[in-house]
Amino acid sequence: MRRPAARDRAQRARRLTALLLALAPLALGACANIKPWERDVLAREEMAFDPDPLEAARRNHVYFSKEASLPGGSAGGGGCGCN
């Protein structure tokens, strides 16, 4: 007869396995191999991470000036007095 702690561990392992199996299709989906001639949608301007670089720069600067966090996503830019 298994001790309760061992039973808990086995139960946790089963749950983790079930979770990984449930997430596996997502991982497979992430390995999608889209050919160059299938990328017409991905190439559209509205699919860019920053469709308007000027707006992204201004927005990051304003939030950076009024909040304590860094924008992230790239190497940091220049400093400022930022009152």
Partner 1 sequence: MKNREREKRARRRRARRAAAAGAGGARTLQALATSALALPGVASNAAAEGTERYVADYTYSFYSEDDIDSSKVSPGSETSRYEIHNHQFRVAAPIAARFDLGLDVAYETMSGATPWYIIPDVDGDPVQVMTGATIEEARTDASLNGTYHLETGRATGAMGISVENDYLAFNGSVSGERYFNEKNTTLNGGGGFSIDKIEPVDADTDPFRPSKENKQSFSLFSGVSQVLGRSSVINSTLNYQFSNGFLSDPYKRVLVEGAPIGDSRPDTRHQITWLTRLRQHADFMNGAFHADYRFYIDTWQINSHTIDVAWYQNLPWGLRLIPSLRYYTQSAAKFYAPWFEVAPSSGHASSDYRLSPFGALAYRVRAESNFPIRETNWKIHAGYERYTSSADLAIMKVALENPGLVSYNLFSVGVTAQF
**Which residues lie near partner 1 (CB under 8 A)?**
29-55, 57-58, 62-63, 66-81, 83
CB of 9 to partner 1, least distance (A): 30
Q: Closer CB to partner 1, residue 16 or residue 48?
A: 48
Over its C-alpha atoms, the chain yields an Rg (Å, rounded) of 23
Q: Closer CB to partner 1, residue 4 or residue 29?
A: 29
Q: Which residues of 25-45 are buried (b: 16+ CB within 10 A; e: fewer)?
A: eeeeeeeeeeeeeeeeeeeee
Comparing C-alpha atoms, which of 34, 81, 45, 42 is closest to residue 61? 81
Instruction: List all residues 6 or more positions away from 80 whose beta carbon is below 8 Å from its beta carbon.
Output: 61, 65
CB of 5 to partner 1, least distance (A): 33
Q: Closer CB to partner 1, residue 22 or residue 31?
A: 31
CB of 60 to partner 1, least distance (A): 11
